[in-house]
Amino acid sequence: MSSLTSRVIVAFVLLPLVIGLVYLGGWWLFALAVVGGLIALHELYVMARELRPLVLGGYLGFVLSVLGLQLGGLAWMFGGLLATFVFAFVVFGLSDVRPSATTSFGVTVLGVVWIGAGVGYLLLIRDIPDDLGFWAVMAVLFTVFAADTGAFFAGRTFGRHKMAPAISPAKSWEGFVGGLVAAMAMAFVILYKDRDDFLSIPQTLALGAAIALASMLGDLFESAVKRDLTVKDSGRLLGGHGGMLDRLDSLLWAGPVAYYVILAFGQA
């Protein structure tokens, strides 16, 4: 099976499921966030196994962070993130192995903050009242997709100037511009009907631009981590898409950025 075929099949199966669970929201979306986040966190810890992450402490910290958000909001999510230090230290203290404490704590906490906060902010956006939260999450999801797609085709067609050759040689500034335009257009299309109740048209375009920038940075961040750990993909769970972390990398940055842009416009 070709990479393109597997990508299409995976997208065909998963996209309706994700949209349905986002629509239902609440504990259904929480379950999706926990399952997807734990898989992504597991992939990171497998990639970084030589750094000896404190896996159990990371899993506990992640679940507590997302659960805290679900039950008590943003303050309790940060409480869960901070609790990761405690869980990691307890696991470190009970272990017979003595790896570098700084390295082990660093990669453990990195995973929880990166993935836990990333999916957590998407849950916060979904909590925006009425059906605005659903459409806001849809805007983030599809705007990230539009940014990636626009950057890919614009980069292939016009790409001449490398953006970050030491991290991801294939990415170009021309591709970023193409992704920026596509992202702004997608955000405009999805949120246009709510322009009088949610974000105005200029605010929607600003949101699209912010998501495009965050999406690009999130992708580059994961590329830098994978390059440092000398791996190509985070996994093979999703066939041609790679691993779960490969699919979430842009969203893990776009979610928090989108939340704070919406908050800045007084809608969160």
Contact 65, 112 (CB under 8 A): yes
7-61: per-residue pLDDT in tens?
667 667 788 999 999 999 999 999 999 999 999 999 999 999 999 999 999 999 9
| Residue 138 lies in domain | 3-264
Q: What would the 3-class secondary structure string for 44-57 be?
A: HHHHCHHHCCCHHH
Query: Alpha-carbon distance 128 to 118, whole Å?
Result: 17
- The total number of structural domains in the chain stands at 1
Query: Alpha-carbon distance 22 to 80, whole Å?
Result: 23
The position carrying tokens 């999703």 is 238
Query: Alpha-carbon distance 256 to 211, whole Å?
Result: 9
pTM score, whole prediction: 0.91
User: What pLDDT score was predicted for residue 253?
Assistant: 97
Average model confidence (pLDDT) across the chain: 90
User: What pLDDT score was predicted for residue 236?
Assistant: 74
205-236: per-residue pLDDT in tens?
999 999 999 999 999 999 999 999 988 888 77
101-147: per-residue pLDDT in tens?
889 999 999 999 999 999 999 999 999 998 999 999 999 999 999 99
Query: Alpha-carbon distance 268 to 263, whole Å?
Result: 5
Query: Alpha-carbon distance 5 to 159, whole Å?
Result: 26
Q: For the chain, what percent of residues have pLDDT higher than 70?
A: 94
How far, CA to CA in Å, does 5 sit from each of 1, 9, 68, 185?
A: 6, 6, 39, 27
pLDDT value at 4 more than 60: no
Mean pLDDT, residues 168-182: 91
Q: What single letter denotes the amino acid at residue 126?
A: R
Tokens encoding 210: 């912010």
Name the CA radius of gyration of the chain, rounded. 19
Query: Alpha-carbon distance 106 to 87, whole Å?
Result: 13
Mean pLDDT, residues 170-182: 92
Closest alpha carbon to 52 in 108, 112, 10, 96: 108
